[in-house]
């Protein structure tokens, strides 16, 4: 069975540009401290999430295998 992959934001790298949450508002949520967090990695299509990953200016988002 194929592993399901979900995105994860590295808070050490994120600069809070919020492009990811503009592209996938159901997946990435801006937190009080100004960083993005992937709150639901399955709430958008893989293509759209990949677009958010590619758009992040500091490459803070990566795919992780779902536990
Ligand atoms: Fe942070 Fe990149 Fe999103 S800088 S807010 S993870 S687009």
Domain boundary assignment for the chain? 5-65
pLDDT at 1 over 90: no
pTM value > 0.85: yes
Per-residue pLDDT for 3 more than 80? no
Taking the CA of residue 30 as reference, the ligand 1 atom at the shortest distance is 5
Q: What is the pLDDT of residues 13-65, one digit of tens each?
A: 999 999 999 999 999 999 999 999 999 999 999 999 999 999 999 999 999 99
Distance 2 CA to ligand 1 centre (A): 27
Whether residue 55 contacts residue 28, with contact meaning beta carbons closer than 8 Å, is answered with no
So what's the pLDDT on residue 67?
72
Q: Could you give the CA distance from residue 50 to residue 28 in angstroms, rounded to a whole number?
A: 12
| pLDDT for 66 | 87
Pocket of ligand 1 contains residue 31 by CB under 6 Å: no
Q: Which CATH architecture is the domain 5-65 placed in?
A: 2-Layer Sandwich (3.30)
Conformation bin of residue 34: beta by default, left when phi > 0, alpha when psi is -120 to 50 = left
Residue 54 and residue 62 in contact, taking contact as beta carbons nearer than 8 Å: no
């Amino acid at each position: 069975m194929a592993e399901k992959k979900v995105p994860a934001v590295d808070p050490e790298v994120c600069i809070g540009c919020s492009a990811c949450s503009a592209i996938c508002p159901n997946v990435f949520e801006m937190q009080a401290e100004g960083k993005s967090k992937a709150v639901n990695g399955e709430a958008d299509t893989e293509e759209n999430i990949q677009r958010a990953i590619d758009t992040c200016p500091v490459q803070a988002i990566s795919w992780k295998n779902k536990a």
